[in-house]
Structure 1
């Protein structure tokens, strides 16, 4: 209470408004459903790094061993998932950041106060990510996004929509120029085949899954986690990788996922063009991997021309996947309204996957709790006996287990355990 000395009256001084997260009534289907499906794509895309006794191809990402079914899985992974899940995750992460910012400011929190909450969240994500990388999963991306959120939240959250559009254009140009520069230089010198290094260590080695000692593996994982968080993340800012986050900012301002019915032409174009570009861009690498296309190993390597092409076109695929989910959510909403949301198997499945999307951080970390101790050499070592196909089945089972767990929490009205801790630390 403060005292008005002039009038002798008491009046309450209003504290800065603050709210702790999104209320259930404010949730839209598309963002949660997209996050739930994204976790399936993530767990599948991470499978190759746990096949620690396999022989890897020139890119270091996918094994080349196995029968025709394994090669089919590898072909599909390269075309549909590898370097395609990152932009999907980045878009949804940026979308969620802007949603949180807009909810806070709409509730009366100052813009600076909302940015402070997001800054605290980013710092917490870095801590969670590095702990996750050290203990279980070297390729953690939570810390990566936490660091990027610090920079992007400070630079772009409070900018106008017009400024966002300009920076999206600048970022897209950076991506194209940075990616094309080494390829163009090699072409001008007539040495495209020498671009890349097929002799580099396979990327799977950085995950430490083949280490017999947990402590040795933890050292490898920590080094990889530090590189991903504090080297790869800043480099993505220089290379224009932030553009996908800004697209998420812009889309959240327009409520594209909450109100997909208002944006159907945009979503349809994005789905068709984005997925077509993404899959066609990865097709040469997939064909080369299974031996259907004769390409020098250096060109297929992690820094080779085919990988560069896959990475650039992956942005289109990631956005296309988001658009497909939004279109499905729009159609599903009409169907549910017509059928009065009857308790069918399909309704339960959509509800369960969306429940996982609401608890995406808990689900993501749960993958590693189920993967690492069972698959790594320092654990039960099952990864030594699996192939690309059987590993994909295992990953699907892990995802279904997290869906079931999230659905059980949803029915009890409880948040994910990691979300509970994160929100408590964010909002105190």
Structure 2
């Protein structure tokens, strides 16, 4: 029994990979995704939900609208799609390492996603309502259920998750379906949230976040709300799951022609779709409660298509750049924050909400898109240096360490073990 427990505790499926065995591509991708997520989350940190219903051009100056459009083309849906891709890929790595060591995957994996769900729920309720961690935890159960499924079934689910939202939209258009809530509801909510987060109490802010989740999850029974967010995330998570099964990221140097073909195909189609939906939003804004329209359907369709295409294109581009010396010098800067993604993701929320909310600097509603991008660059730059400083001394990020401790029920070793300095040769004198 003790031998079996020791084998499970030391199973590589859940132990951190030694630095010399880490795939730098995965760390760089996580770091890149962290930056893109921060850029795209800035408007959500600093403005209320439904701001489009309140004012279609809340920051009307040309440079703010241009910054918003550029950020949308480059990062909207792409940064979080890379994160979800890596989450799916991570499960296959855990499965492969567990199989190689003879460890049982399921019990520890279930505890791991349960802890992640609790962390995400706390983040969503206590700090910010844009949390994605609880979504990953829930969809992680789907991945676990599919671990022995055929490749054909996995690919079929990807196609279904891509097509189903568009079919639902067409049905709403054909039935002239009324929106779940009238525009006046969103206008009133935007006004109220502007007050709550700029001057209100912390208790009011928690209540507002709970109300947002009640609305988002409550609309599922009518075929709206959070259900389609789960479909969107599952597409790239399943793509990562499939890529991990096929070990597609393990030998980039040996598959350069294929990777280049994937890059240019996905990049061309993805950029076209991304520019299309970004321009539709920029030059003909659509209020959230506007009801189904064919223009809205086209905007949504282009977004759904661009998300997985550019996710794959970005991954291929970064993989190719890391094959060059210049690319390594530039991109490996992202590896340190990418090695502690949970800590950096939650720290971004802590910093941003402190800057924007009433209990901090109360910048809510005052920071436009261009300034928001600049703020994101500053915050992420600090995280790069902070991560390098921390990882030079410790094996895990602070929250990664807590996540692992809660998963195993024991405190893992935190500090890096420094190799003893070699003994200096004893000085000798002539004739000794």
What is the TM-score with the length of structure 1 in the denominator?
A: 0.79
Q: Residues 233 and 353 of structure 1: is their aligned pair in 2 closer, same or farther, counting only changes over 3 Å?
A: farther
Q: 3-state DSSP class of the match of 2:7? A: coil
- In structure 2, stretches of 5+ residues that fail to align are 410-432
Q: Are residue 137 (structure 1) and residue 128 (structure 2) matched?
A: yes
Partner of 2:169: 182
**Mapped partners of 1:132, 1:166: distance in 2:** 34
CA gap of 1:47–1:116, structure 2 versus 1, over 3 A, is: same
Give the structure 1 partner of residue 366 of structure 2: 385
CA contact (8 A) 2:34 2:79 kept: no
1:124 to 2:115 alignment: yes
Matches within 5 A, 1:18-167: 18=8, 19=10, 20-52=15-47, 56-57=51-52, 64-109=58-103, 113-153=104-144, 155-159=145-149, 163-167=150-154
Q: Verify: 1:169 aligned to 2:156, yes or no.
A: yes
Distance 1:243 1:288, change over 3 A: closer
Q: What does residue 254 of structure 2 align with?
A: 262
Query: Shift of residue 84 of structure 1?
Result: 2.6
- CA deviation vs aligned residue, 1:344-392 (integer Å, no higher than 9, x gap): xx86654441011110111101101111011123421123331110011
- Show the 5 A alignment for 1:242-281: 242-281=234-273
Structure 2 distance, partners of 1:301, 1:220, is 32
- The offset of 1:295, in angstroms, is 8.1
C-alpha spacing 1:226/1:396, structure 2 compared with 1 (3 Å): farther
Aligned to 1:421: 402
Distance 1:165 1:397, change over 3 A: farther
| Matched-pair contact (CA < 8 Å) for 1:84–1:314 | yes
Give the alignment's Cα RMSD to 1 decimal. 3.6
1:294-313 aligned at under 5 Å gives the runs: 304-313=297-306
Q: CA deviation at 1:425?
A: 2.0
1:151 Cα deviation after fit? 2.6
**Secondary structure at 1:157's aligned position in 2?**
coil
Quickly say closer, same or farther: Cα 1:322–1:201, change in 2 above 3 A.
Answer: farther
In the alignment, which residue of structure 1 is the partner of 2:210? 222
8 A Cα contact 2:198 2:363, kept in partner: no
Q: Deviations over 1:91-132 (max 9, x none)?
A: 1111112212222221221xxx21221111110011000111
Q: CA 1:300–1:258 in 2, change beyond 3 Å: closer, same or farther?
A: farther
Q: Distance in 2 between matches of 1:226 and 1:102?
A: 38
Match of 1:323 among 316, 320, 335: 316
Deviation at 1:259, TM superposition (A): 2.2
Cα gap change, 1:195 to 1:176, in 2 (>3 Å): farther
- Choose which of 190, 193, 201 in structure 1 pairs with 2:186: 201
Q: In 2, are the aligned partners of 1:73 and 1:389 still within 8 Å (CA)?
A: yes
- Give the aligned length: 394
Calculate the TM-score normalised by the size of structure 2.
Answer: 0.79
- Which segment is superposed worse, 410-419 or 262-271? 262-271
CA displacement at 1:150 relative to structure 2: 1.9
Name whichever of 144-153 and 124-133 sits farther off: 144-153
For residues 100 and 42 of structure 1, what CA distance do their matches in structure 2 show? 25
Structure 1, unaligned runs of 5 or more: 2-11, 337-345
**Deviation by residue 1:294-345 (Cα, 9 ceiling, x = unmatched):** 989656899654134313331212222222122222x23xx38xxxxxxxxx
CA distance in 1, matches of 2:182, 2:269: 26
Contact 1:183 1:195 in 2 (8 A): no
Contact 1:130–1:225 under 8 Å retained in 2: no
Q: Which residue of 1 aligns with 2:378?
A: 397
Quote the offset at 1:409 in angstroms.
Answer: 1.6
- Cα distance, 1:239–1:395 mapped onto 2, change above 3 Å: closer
Stretch deviating more after TM superposition (135-144 or 203-212)? 203-212
Matches of 1:316 and 1:150, distance apart in 2:
25
Q: Shift of residue 254 of structure 1?
A: 2.8
